[in-house]
């Protein structure tokens, strides 16, 4: 009797995916608090500019490369071995686009002079909220997809998926 091994039996791959987003998750949480402080009037908008810059720097470094590898290598493999995943993959790619767009627009605001930054802070808050919501949902959907695939793939396909995930 042939038994398929599930990704749940080998959580290291999923754990690694969740860990990869941990640094960014912490920055998002810290920035969320800082923005709330500004909105409550406990801090000035300009006081959080450096935190926003750090967040954007880390987010761009971690996410752009991560998204590229997913879209160029991982996602095509998944749709090849499991065509039913195409809609889920399209949803993940769309989330990539929304997050990258929000980061790009936030970066333009952060790069403005002090007056421009302060006057655009409300727009920045809306962009950050959009990024925050998409990032949280995306991470959950990504892990759920990989877990569900783990129970459907043959051992050789599962091993290839593990290899691809390890590269991301």
Q: What is the pLDDT of residues 52-111, one digit of tens each?
A: 999 999 888 888 888 888 899 889 998 999 899 999 999 999 999 999 999 999 999 999
- Residue 152 pLDDT: 79
- Residue 53 pLDDT: 94
CA distance 149 to 153: 6
CA distance 31 to 168: 25
pLDDT band at 22 (very low <50, low <70, confident <90, very high): confident
Percent of the chain surpassing pLDDT 90 = 52
Q: Where are the alpha helices (DSSP H) in the chain?
A: 12-20, 22-40, 49-59, 65-69, 75-81, 86-110, 114-119, 121-150, 155-167
CA angle 110, 53, 100 (to 5 degrees): 80
Q: pLDDT averaged over the chain? A: 85
Q: Per residue in 105-115, pLDDT tens?
A: 999 999 999 99
> How much is the pTM?
0.80
- Residue 9 pLDDT: 45
- Residue 17 pLDDT: 59
Any idea which residue has 């090849």 for tokens?
Answer: 80
* 168 or 36, higher pLDDT: 36
């Amino acid at each position: 009797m042939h038994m398929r091994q599930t990704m749940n039996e080998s959580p290291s791959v999923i754990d690694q995916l969740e860990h990869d987003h941990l640094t960014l998750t912490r920055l998002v949480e810290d920035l969320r608090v800082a923005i709330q402080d500004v909105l409550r009037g406990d801090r000035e908008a300009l006081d959080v500019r450096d935190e926003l810059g750090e967040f954007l720097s880390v987010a761009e470094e971690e996410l752009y490369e991560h998204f590229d590898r997913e879209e160029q290598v991982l996602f095509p493999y998944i749709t090849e071995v499991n065509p039913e995943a195409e809609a889920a993959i399209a949803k993940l790619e769309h989330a990539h686009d929304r997050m990258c767009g929000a980061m790009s627009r936030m970066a333009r605001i952060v790069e403005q002079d002090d007056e421009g930054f302060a006057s655009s802070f409300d727009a920045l808050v809306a962009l950050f909220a959009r990024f925050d919501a998409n990032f949280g949902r995306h991470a959950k959907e990504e892990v759920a997809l990989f877990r569900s695939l783990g129970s459907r793939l043959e051992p050789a396909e599962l091993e290839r998926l593990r290899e691809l995930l390890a590269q991301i």
